[in-house]
Copies of this chain bind each other. A is one copy, B any other.
């Protein structure tokens, strides 16, 4: 097993690298957002237009004149309906209003003059009933960490923030079922569970800010989906306030309940367009005692698929992450992130980060050794390193998680979150490179002769989720036109999805037809009409503009 020996000789290198990178905790880079000025993926254009109103950027999204403009009586009602004095923010304090009007990427900016922060379900109900009776448009908002402009107003919609509904209602250590308010921050819940030996079944970069209600409303994916599945499987029940103020309990905190339509599922991923989630019950697994992380260099995408298949076979029940990125991603991280070095020298086309988590460290080590022996002796992998401790593991995760930040430092960013059958994942990247090169917009050798400097691919290989990113000298209509229609058509042709996990929001609403048929969209519209006849909930988004 000469390869395995090679692998182990790399470990000292890794130790040095990681010691230098030192205390960057895993997945913390994004956590502090949106409180810090640093943003993960501001594009040159977005940065320049930091103060541009969404309504100016999207002039066709005209304000719906059916919606009432707020007056003093309305504000007085809301002040009476919400008990907490800090529960109502008005135009009297514009600095306090601003963070609710603006997304953390600083790409979208609404013009709301009123933020409501109810502390109970009955307050949410009173607010929505009034809004519905008076045709007042509302944007439900969780942690406001979304990537598609779904959680901030377009015009003067009232912002309904769930942040004051942040109580853990119950945790049952026998079943692992957690019930909590929608406004609980994901990381707070995870820390709470950690003390009891359990873990949230989802994990995101934004965990320090995002709220469970928003996670559920947007059907967040993230890093644990490979292991614990989607929220459609783990969310057991929820409490929802309908547009007209009715409070509806959708299911119970039970693992099984087979009575009636599973209506809660409709709210998962509907981005606040059907109702406002006020509490959630979720099934949480036991926290794993042992975690291992390895990084491998692979010379071709075919080999990468072989490695993935082998991982599913050898690591099976303990496989908890299988993330990939291409050579350019690694090079950009090395260029822009201080003190980061690859854990080995081999320069390969692809890199993969594998995480296992299980209940027995010895067993997991043994499984991982078997797997590494397989992939190295059979030539699927060129080189690799296995983290020897938590710091080294954090160093490896740091490479994966600073890709977005590194790309942002290269200039303007075009970012796509795509789902395609795993075998075709990287074809999408190569096809884009070829198309742009043919138009003279990109030089395949990496020399910056065109408007596009880099076309890279990375993402959750285990979920068939590709993050296709392009860096450019700026945003132009010509470039957008060169990228988007061909890309979306390609995704449609491949039977993929134009949004794997980020959702629809404002950004992807016009392109929904690339992923969903006209009949399907018609059904969606009928459903919206049924749940929210006046269309007050999160208007201007999610549905293709008519």
Residues of A in contact with B (beta carbons under 8 Å apart): 172-176, 197, 218-219, 221, 225, 229-230, 232-234, 246-250, 252-263, 265-266, 268-270, 274, 286, 288, 305, 308-309, 312-318, 358-360, 363, 366-367, 419-423, 460, 463-465, 495-504, 508, 512, 515-517, 519-521, 523-524, 526-527, 530, 542
Contacts and interface: CB of A to CB of B under 8 A. Distances in A.
In the assembly, how many copies of this chain are there?
A: 2
Given A254-B419, A359-B317, A495-B253, A504 B263 contact: no
A504 B260 contact: yes
Contact of A262 (B266, B460, B508): B266
Contacts of A317: 288, 317-318, 358-359
B359 A316 contact: yes
Contacts of A274: 261
Nearest to A219: B258
B465 A515 contact: no
Contacts of A197: 313
Contacts of A218: 258
A72 to B, nearest CB: 33
A379 to B, nearest CB: 19
A128 to B, nearest CB: 14
Contact of A256 (B230, B233, B260, B504): B230
Contact of A519 (B248, B363, B421): B248
B256 A521 contact: no
21 contacts: A175-B422, A225-B255, A229-B229, A252-B419, A252-B495, A254-B495, A255-B463, A256-B460, A256-B464, A256-B500, A257-B515, A259-B498, A259-B512, A259-B516, A260-B520, A260-B542, A262-B266, A263-B266, A286-B316, A317-B318, A363-B367
Contact of A257 (B246, B257, B500): B500
Contact of A175 (B286, B464, B500): B464
Contact of A250 (B268, B501, B520): B520
Given A174-B308, A229-B233, A249-B520, A257 B366 contact: no
A504 B259 contact: yes
Contact of A286 (B312, B423, B520): B312
Given A366-B363, A499-B259, A527-B530, A254 B421 contact: yes
Contacts of A422: 172, 174-175
A318 B358 CA distance: 9
A263 B500 contact: no
A265 B527 CA distance: 14
Contacts of A256: 221, 225, 230, 419, 460, 463-465, 497, 500-501
For the complex of A and B, list the 5 residue pairs with the smallest distance between their C-beta atoms, beginning with the closest.
A233-B233, A265-B265, A316-B359, A257-B497, A363-B363
A56 B122 CA distance: 47
Contacts of A173: 309
Given A172-B421, A248-B523, A259 B497 contact: yes
Contact of A254 (B254, B423, B464, B502): B464
A477 B25 CA distance: 66
Of A173, A254, A497, A542, the most chain B CB neighbours within 10 A belong to A254
A314 to B, nearest CB: 7
A225 B265 CA distance: 18
Given A174-B305, A288-B316, A270 B261 contact: yes
Contacts of A523: 248, 263
B174 A309 contact: yes
Given A308-B174, A360-B366, A521 B260 contact: yes
Contact of A316 (B315, B358, B497): B358
B499 A252 contact: no
Contact of A230 (B175, B233, B261, B503): B233
Nearest to A274: B261
Given A259-B515, A260-B542, A261-B269, 10 more contacts: A172-B422, A174-B422, A248-B517, A252-B515, A254-B419, A254-B420, A255-B463, A263-B266, A286-B312, A360-B367
